[in-house]
Amino acid sequence: MKKITILNIILLSLLLTGQSCKDDFLEEKRDLTAVNEEVFKDPVLAQSYVDYVYGMFLPAANAQSFVVTQNASENGGYNTTFTQTTDELAGETDYNKEWAAISYVNNHANKYFGQRMSASIANNVWTRMREINLFLSEIDKYGIAEETRNKLKGQMYFWRAFQYFDLVRMYGGVPLVLEPQNPTMAENEANSIPRSKTSECIDQIVKDLDLAKSLLPGKWDDSNWGRITSGAAAALKGRVLLTYASPQFNPNDSRERWLAAYNANLEAKQLLEQNGSGLFEVGGTANGKAWGDIWMKEVNNPEAVLVYGFNNVTNGSNMAKNNGWEQAIRPRDIFGGGSISPTKQILDAFPMLDGKSIDDPTSTYAYSPNKFYKNRDPRFAKTFVYNGALFPYNGATGYRQWTYYWKKEATASYTTTETKGANSSGIYLKKGSDPNASNTYGVASGFQQSGTDFIEMRFAEVVLNLAESAIGADKLQEGLEGIMKIRARAGIENKDGSYGLSGVMGDRDKLFGAIINERKIEFAYEGKRFFDLRRWKLFEENSATAQRIGVKPLNGTRRTGLLITLKVNGEEYVGKSDPLLKDGATAPIVEREPATFPAGIENQEQYLDYLYDNYFVVTERDDLDRTNATPTWKFKWYPEYYFFGFNQSVLSTSPYLQQTIGWDSMNGAGTFDPLK
């Protein structure tokens, strides 16, 4: 949005100190082998140092923020690999295809653990860790006021915990490095730190977050919007302990772990509420209005626990930090990128308006595959754009997306309404889009100057983390009430007294299944799905937890989309021109957006139903995933991925590291047990 938030505080602080916006700050103010005291004597320089670390974790300008994650990349860059390794997006990745063998020499041995730190400055795991450790080891030695130092340290403890949590949920235990290491490409004893137990890493993460919580304010002033708060530290602790209590780390279902997660998430919720956080409800909950507006409010947004800020400064400026999401999700016909194609699998996960699933015969509303959009959870229309749905932008508040097909000749291929090219799935994403976004910057850069913030952790997640922890700790009613709060805010009808959840009441496993599905809906395309599937072990066909909680595993499936074609008088339409688009005085058959409606139809929404009843045919499109494979390509996940092995690029430079059990190495079979 227009206000310059935390990402630009980084740039502003560097400008105030006379530095450029590249790596000059690090090169000139300190190096990687020694300490420049000036950084730790001057509160402005110290703040710039902390802000630089923020920048190492936050997405780069023009990142597709909602579907990218940092931990799928070796060099700290954000990409969509993990989202494509779910049911949210199609595409073959190193983690969903078949391999001849599980091996440390293959790319499925995830490389996020990184390389041995070198003398050059790079944004990767161990450089980030060193910047944090160096700061924490030096900041108390000089004369900056204690109150200022505490706030700076609190932010750094948070980011160290954040980085370690990313590593632990990927690999289990990793080396605990709590002092700054000197960079070297050669093996040396000082830097050759073996893997710590997973339990020891979790303890250290919790310790860092408790320190951060004690040192940070509950709320910053408006000029520091986006900085880490004590509530954010508590919320991350809740996320960490929930993960540690989940089946990935807790196969024996220890109630002690669930209770620890419950207590942490309860504290986080209470602390955040004391400082003004809560579910975003400005504008009311009717029809999910409040939910749809979450991403349009910046400063003092009660939903934002951990927020990644962007601005709409002109692209190319040193101050520019544009969010690439808007450009990626907008159709090509209006100068968007059209590069994000959501799947029918996520479309179908959204319940009916009464909260019942689309295949539940007890629902008040009958689901129609041909009118799939009717009487759905209000979040459905706020998440997706389908054929005929509104997709407004600046200067075109009534713009509707039309994405259907017809044949110009009986033997010809289908022709699309989208003259510049349709996306892959026949569905577009609306989530996080700004109805006032502008596409007036030209064909090559439409919608690029977006300043919409991305909320990496929402208060809704804290509510559902607490609810899931409560279920795990046998506080079943409290868990149910947490899910109900999320559904009530979304605008789901409460016809059965539990917002469609009457069928799961009192059953721990069914409640777990309900909350995983609720997260699938509430956090669709927010970078959460991969880690939810992984921590609940919901990928492989024989998944015990999938069977237990009633969730269909992903293995053996294909991600699909929608194909909407035209019929006239019950027969497939064949013709030279679009029969619903006026190309002159009248449309060839019937106009898709008429000035006047037929008798009995009062508005465009009712008319859209008329079009689907009489002219549109909806079928499943199965060409999103690979179609040139024999046998047919299907999703394939291996249980070894629940704890990734170290890649040969790591082991060759760090032979002292134990390989994960289930993975081989140059020294034989892996011996490190990530469950200890």
Question: 271-285, pLDDT tens digit by residue?
Answer: 999 999 999 986 555
Confidence class for position 450, pLDDT limits 50, 70, 90: confident
Average pLDDT over residues 252-279: 98
* pLDDT in the model for residue 525: 97
User: For the ranges 5-19, 486-500, 633-647, 648-662, which has the lowest average pLDDT?
Assistant: 5-19
- Report the DSSP beta bridge partners of residue 390: 400
Q: Is residue 510 pLDDT above 80, yes or no?
A: yes
Q: What percent of the chain has pLDDT over 70?
A: 90
pTM score of the predicted model = 0.93
Report long-range pairs for 625-632 (Cβ below 8 Å, ≥24 apart).
Answer: 625/90, 625/91, 625/92, 625/558, 625/559, 625/560, 626/92, 632/558
21 by Cβ neighbours in 10 Å (0-12 / 13-18 / 19+) ranks as middle
Cα 345 → chain centroid = 17
User: For the ranges 115-129, 213-227, 344-358, 427-441, which has the lowest average pLDDT?
Assistant: 115-129
User: For the ranges 62-76, 100-114, 595-609, which has the lowest average pLDDT?
Assistant: 62-76
Per the model's pLDDT, the better-predicted residue between 66 and 320 turns out to be 66
Q: What is the 3-state secondary structure (H, E, C) of 375-413?
A: CECHHHHHHEECCCEECCECCECCCEECCCEEECCCCCC
State pLDDT tens for residues 318-359.
777 889 999 999 999 999 999 999 999 999 999 999 999 999
Provide the token pair at 410.
């009986």
Per the model's pLDDT, the better-predicted residue between 78 and 290 turns out to be 78
State pLDDT tens for residues 560-612.
999 999 999 999 999 999 999 988 888 899 999 999 999 999 999 999 999 99
Q: Supply the mean pLDDT for the chain.
A: 90
State pLDDT tens for residues 7-34.
344 444 443 333 333 333 333 334 434 4
What's the CA gap between 591 and 580, in Å, rounded? 5
State pLDDT tens for residues 192-243.
789 999 999 999 999 999 999 999 999 999 999 999 999 999 999 999 999 9
* pLDDT in the model for residue 568: 95
Residues 6+ apart with CB under 8 A from 602: none
Report the amino acid identity of residue 527: G
Of 348, 402, 395, nearest to 376 by C-alpha is 348
